[in-house]
Chain A
Amino acid sequence: MNTNLTERNYLGLSDCSSVDSSNVPCISEVNKNSLNLKATELRLGLPGSQSPERDPESSLTSSEKLDEKPLFPLLPSVDGICSSSPKTVVSGHKRIFTDVMDSCSEVKGLSEGNWLFSGSGSESDPSKSVTQGKFSSNSNVNGMVSLGDQPAKGTTTNLNKVISSNSPAAKAQVVGWPPVRSFRKNILATSSKNHDEVDGKPCSGALFVKVSMDGAPYLRKVDLRGYSTYQQLSSALEKMFTCFTIGQCGSQGGPGRENLSESKLRDLLHGSGYVLTYEDKDGDWMLVGDVPWDMFIGSCKRLKIMKGSDAIGLAPRATEKSKN
């Protein structure tokens, strides 16, 4: 499989307020790089493996497909989707972050840092775990190991910036694009979930929760069903509240590794940045990112962007809860 990845100049779509034609990549460069997209596509499963549902014949059937422009934010398939997604492009290969790291230097004008969610996981490299946070609760250990094969370079901040603007694999969604209404966005997610559900109630429609931020004069609402990963939610919230300083906290995404050590979190929060917290069904405030996404949206009643220093006390409770 093609591993000749080169830099790509991405449109600063996550941040766009005015179109800058200099951002438009030259077409031949795009063309050359189009194959790279397959290699960087996030997939679950062992490196080199293919999910059984994938139909190797269906992908790249025409030469035109090879030329598909990789300009669009590439996001991983949503939780559980890979396993049931009908026809997916062949790429059982491990995700490669080389171009992500290399294009760190190309980042321009992004807000300082993104949300990183506290989450379960014991990886000590917070940047690595940001990306892991994108994997669904079904991803296996090996899937994450493959990630680990490409150690993240640069600081966490850089990674965050890269992930939200230049990374082909994790570009933040442009708000309101494509113009699909919220209740349509997660068709695949909710549908496949229901096939797997045994006793769960079928879910449908939007799931709007209020988001408040310490110091912000207004509330917003987000539709949690419009997102399928913590990363997507993070990017969206960041956009909504960009006028306020946003720090970062550690992100320890990764299903199955639920216990974030208290001291680690405290270290991460030590700069009194902001953290994202939520009120769950029991009325308790928890750090976002501790539990698999599906569980989170099932129990989140509202969100609050708190100052990191206020949130330190939450970690142990979250950890305890997830033990139950």
Chain B
Amino acid sequence: MGFPEEVLEHVFSFITSHTDRNVVSLVCKSWYEIERWCRRRIFVGNCYAVSPAMMIRRFPEVRSVELKGKPHFADFNLVPDGWGGYFYPWICEMARAYPWLEEIKLKRMVVTDDNLELISKSFKNFKVLVLSSCEGFSTHGLAAIAANCRNLRELDLRESEVEDLSGHWLSHFPDSCTSLQSLNMSCLSSEVSFSALQRLIARSPNLKTLRLNRAVPLEKLSTLLRRAPQLVELGTGAYSAEIRPDVYANLTEAFSRCKEVKGLSGFWDVLPSYLPAIYSVCSRLTSLNLSYATIQSPDVTKIITQCPNLQSLSVLDYIEDTGLNALSLSCKDLRELRVFPSDPFVANANVSLTEQGLVAVSEGCSKLQSVLYFCRQMSNSALTTIAKNRPNLTCFRLCILEPRAPDYLTFEPLDVGFGAIVEHCKQLQRLSLSGLLTDRVFEYIGKWAKKLEMLSIAFAGDSDLGLHHVLSGCDSLRKLEIRDCPFGDKALLANVSKLETMRSLWMSSCSVSLGACKRLSQKMPRLNVEVIDEQGDLDSRPDNCHVEKLYIYRTVAGPRFDMPSFIRTMDQNPTYRS
């Protein structure tokens, strides 16, 4: 502690993880002071947990800000429009306070064209803009970013909902802009000017990531690839064209020149005849996203068996058990597997994908850590096998399409199977449950899942006891999201202090009463207890009525005031208005 500030600051510059930084700041007052002046990167997991002013007051020299807004269930339309998550108050303050800001990364936030324009004009050295699952802006806002950010390195719009007025925005990148390293426009639908795109790519020697949108035709892909042989990550546009030998030959040749490509995505509308064009890059691929490719198992299998270095694979369930079996034999370095449903709303399987596919991968791929799997049947024995095969799992998200589907062999609940997962996979950080589940599974989770940070529950459990097990047992729990479970007041009120140790709790279509929400809010002043009820007139509801949706989060910023009328923060004063 006798070191001069400059030395400490230098040491701190090697400490980059947010948690480590937070710990450093708690050592003593002087470290707190030094740390806050040299903190360059801020991550705010819930934009309502703290106010922009507080952030700026404490950390005056920030270069990168990452914010998250809406709850995760917003991805599935469970969070009504107008909920919040506005970037506006943040950009207003940051524009003033952080002239040297370089990076903004937002997830599930509402961003407007004005916000984007403000970004483009406020930060001279602005480099990185990542808008993940955001909404509220149009291609006009993108034009402002393109036009004004002289040193733009990264523009990533992943899965955002953009009002796509025209593809003209891309043409706003000035000829002088040569700094682009990463461009992800895959969520856009409008066609951009191909010549503008081509020239942009040609003058961006450091471009490593390029994710095109569906509108970029396959015939023109080779032209682009030829100008960017240094690409590491490529997302194709639509992957079909009239079958023409010259197009095919050009494509094959262009891919063969891409010696650095490690990741492929895109592949909308795949015409299988064109798939062999990518074979030359397969041996180097570590990441492959075929989750939009409606190609059949043999075609998928042909590709993946040529990718021995694959670490991350996203596919549709067209891959079927046979394809997953092939995967388990060919891709021994696989870390992450995501299998999406091709036809999620049909009860009968349209493909032959069962729990066996996942079991096979768990057997063959010893490094498998992260699983997202949609299927139509599961058994306790399969889950137990998977758990014993892969104790190194850190993320296990299973979605059996039918709510409350039991073990298809024994018709029992899947408690034991998921119990095996949490018991064996001691490093499990994220878990999503599905199928028929009683309170027992939560007993197992509370007992074993000590490292679990995020838990998603749907159509499960019998009583408050289930929720109580989770809240009282999961020591590392940060995010809990629940829908359609018979969990009510008792469990919540018995675990109030737990809620302050978590980032947030979402409960919808459960059995929590309005009165309990009020009581909870009064007991815990540092929680915002927000009740969402679109049927209106919350004021006149009796305390024993169940709330539709509930979102509870810890905050040092007090209640928010940007909510629509159907969301209320429960009063924290003991004498609440009737």
Contact = CB atoms under 8 A, between A and B. Distances in A.
Contacts of B115: none
Interface string B328-347: 00000000000011111111
Contacts of B354: 64
Nearest to A65: B349
Contacts of A205: 161, 164, 187-189
A11 B352 contact: no
A208 B161 contact: yes
B342 A187 contact: yes
A204 B189 contact: yes
A89 B159 contact: no
A179 B411 CA distance: 23
A217 B536 contact: yes
A188 B159 contact: no
Nearest to A24: B404
Contacts of B291: 184
B403 A177 contact: yes
Please classify how large the interface on chain A is, using the bins under 10, 10 to 19, 20 to 34, 35 or more. 35 or more
A105 to B, nearest CB: 23
Contacts of A220: 80-81
B352 A176 contact: no
A68 B343 contact: no
A217 B566 CA distance: 10
Nearest to B412: A27
Given A181-B76, A202-B214, A202-B238, A176 B483 contact: yes
Residue among A18, A37, A64 having the largest count of chain B Cβ atoms under 10 Å: A18
Contacts of A187: 292, 294, 316, 340, 342
A72 B238 contact: no
Contacts of A21: 462, 486
B80 A69 contact: no
Contacts of A51: none
Contacts of B269: 191, 194-195, 202
A199 to B, nearest CB: 13
A89 B161 contact: no
B510 interface: yes
Nearest to B188: A205
**Residue with the greatest number of chain A CB neighbours at <10 A, chosen from B344, B432, B486, B546:** B344
Instruction: Please classify how large the interface on chain B is, using the bins under 10, 10 to 19, 20 to 34, 35 or more.
Output: 35 or more
A206 interface: yes
B347 A178 contact: no
Interface in B381-425: 399, 401-406, 408-409, 411
Interface string B89-117: 00000000000000000000000000000
A321 interface: no
B408 A64 contact: yes
Interface-centre pick from A38, A88, A178, A221 (highest chain B CB count, 10 A): A178
B182 interface: no
Interface string A160-189: 000000001000011111111111110110
Contacts of A177: 76, 403, 458
Interface in B402-458: 402-406, 408-409, 411, 432, 436, 456, 458
Nearest to B410: A27
B348 A41 contact: yes
B249 interface: no
B171 to A, nearest CB: 19
B344 A185 contact: yes
A182 B566 CA distance: 24
A19 interface: yes
Nearest to A210: B81
Interface in A209-241: 217-221, 223, 226, 232, 240
A74 B80 contact: no
Given A11-B403, A191-B294, A201-B215, A87 B352 contact: yes
Contacts of B296: 86
Interface of B: 73, 75-78, 80-82, 159, 161, 164, 187-189, 191, 213-215, 238, 240, 268-269, 291-292, 294, 296, 316, 318, 340-352, 354, 374, 376-377, 399, 401-406, 408-409, 411, 432, 436, 456, 458-459, 461-462, 483-486, 509-511, 534-536, 546, 548, 564-566
Given A24-B436, A175-B76, 20 more contacts: A11-B404, A19-B486, A69-B408, A71-B403, A71-B404, A72-B405, A85-B343, A86-B351, A89-B349, A175-B77, A179-B399, A179-B432, A184-B291, A187-B340, A202-B189, A202-B215, A202-B268, A218-B82, A218-B565, A243-B536
Q: Which 3 A-B pairs have the closest CB atoms?
A: A176-B76, A72-B402, A72-B347
